Structure 1
């Protein structure tokens, strides 16, 4: 028995879309299926945070979804959050919330990064 979520051939590829907000500005990060997590780079959010979104799988199969957040310092990126999601996933053409709104605080001034993600067939 496979633990992955397999889509029927009539469905489109899944799309993970995350909305990251810092200092009143929101960035949209779209993630496609990838079978090599080491090729995925973290996205800069306002020069203070980075967000890495990974949807592991191949063709139309999602093995897992992982979301990593980092706080940027002069000494390098500090991991502050990891979220993991495993099948089964609810995939539809309409937008479905995958995560709640997450609020992360880091640094000496406790800066706030908010993010939420959706999953859908695109």
Structure 2
């Protein structure tokens, strides 16, 4: 009886952990303004929109959980140039990701503007 209860509790805990890591939340700071950007799993990475950060950066999170061999959280930062956006930072993290004690699964990241000397900071966590 006790063994059955322990197995049920363990299964519920594992299910809760799987549910808890079903999205990515990135904490982005630029020019003194902070915002949270969330991403849910997508079937295709090609339709994930960018989010404008200030007047210069574009930020994009792609969370792909299937197929298993392609499962990853990818973070892209673009410079919004006159002609077209230019990628200036890309990071890929295997999924599911394990959060660290501080600054989630990415650690604190900094991306610098190539023209204006500004700095974007971000860190992302699995939820």
TM-score normalised by L of structure 2? 0.74
**Structure 1 counterpart of 2:115:** 108
Query: How far apart, in 1, do the equivalents of 2:96 and 2:65 lie?
Result: 13
- Equivalent in 46, 58, 83 of residue 50 of structure 1: 58
Query: How far apart, in 2, do the equivalents of 1:70 and 1:52 lie?
Result: 8
Instruction: Please tell me whether the aligned partners of residues 96 and 119 of structure 1 are also in contact (alpha carbons under 8 angstroms).
Output: no
* Pairwise CA RMSD: 2.7
How many residues get paired? 110
**Which is richer in helix?**
2
Q: Which has the larger radius of gyration?
A: 2
Query: How far apart, in 2, do the equivalents of 1:102 and 1:26 lie?
Result: 14
**Secondary structure of 1:90 counterpart:** coil
Deviation at 1:9, TM superposition (A): 5.1
Q: Which runs of 5+ in 2 are unaligned?
A: 1-13
Q: Which runs of 5+ in 1 are unaligned?
A: 1-7
Q: Which has the higher contact order (CA 8 A, sep 6+)?
A: 1
**Secondary structure of 1:109 counterpart:** coil
CA offsets 1:9-34 (integer angstroms, 9 cap, x no match): 55426120001111100121011111
